[in-house]
Amino acid sequence: MPGRSVAVLCLLAALVAPSCNPFRRQRQPKVPPPVAPAPAPAKPVAEAPPRTLVHDFPDPPQSAPMPPQAIPPPPIAPELTVPPPPRPPTRREVAVKPEPEPLPAAAKPPPVPRLTQLLTPEEEKKFNQEIEESLERARRNLALVSRRALNTEQQIVLERVHAFLQQTIEMRPLDLVTARSLAQRADLLARDLERSTR
């Protein structure tokens, strides 16, 4: 029995092995594409020997030898000459154009009117009051800050507050809405500056 089981196992192993499997599809071996034969080298053409042409021309007439005095002497090298200095530029007289006469003041175009928000008298009063309050608070905070030592960053903020105050004063007669906004910015920055220096 053991011999029989060994034989069965060998038979199964042979059937299962890839090279012996009868159910396995056979692969076609890869055949490289045919290589075109290299063209045969061209046969060298035998060169014919070069032909030589013979011409029978008469010899050129011989001239009589020239006497030594008849031969012109070789030219003497010219002396190096220095080019003349360049001429100084000539002055051209330029006619001076008379300055145009200034236009009369009436000829200047009038300034372009600014577009502003139309405010009622009550709104103007309210805006002026808000501007005054913001300016007063900003000035009070600046007075407190002026007694303290400021670092570089705080000094920059202080200059910015002064710029906003100046712009508020300039814009107040022209545009109350813008002046109020500038005054509020000055107030806010001055308040922050005062708090940062405590």
CB 164, CB 185: distance < 8 Å: yes
List pLDDT tens digits, range 11-69: 667 666 665 555 666 666 676 766 666 666 666 555 656 666 555 666 666 665 665 56
- Distance from the Cα of residue 21 to its chain's centroid: 72
Query: Which residue has 């309050």 as its token pair?
Result: 133
Residue 130 CA to residue 180 CA, distance in Å, equals: 7
Residue 177 CA to residue 156 CA, distance in Å, equals: 26
Give the side-chain half-sphere CA count within 13 A for 3. Answer: 0
Share of the chain above pLDDT 70, in %: 51
Structure tokens at 15: 């059937």
Residue 91 CA to residue 175 CA, distance in Å, equals: 58
List pLDDT tens digits, range 81-119: 677 777 777 777 666 666 666 655 555 666 666 666 788
For the four alpha carbons of 125, 130, 135 and 141, in that order, the dihedral sign comes to positive
Mean pLDDT of the chain: 76
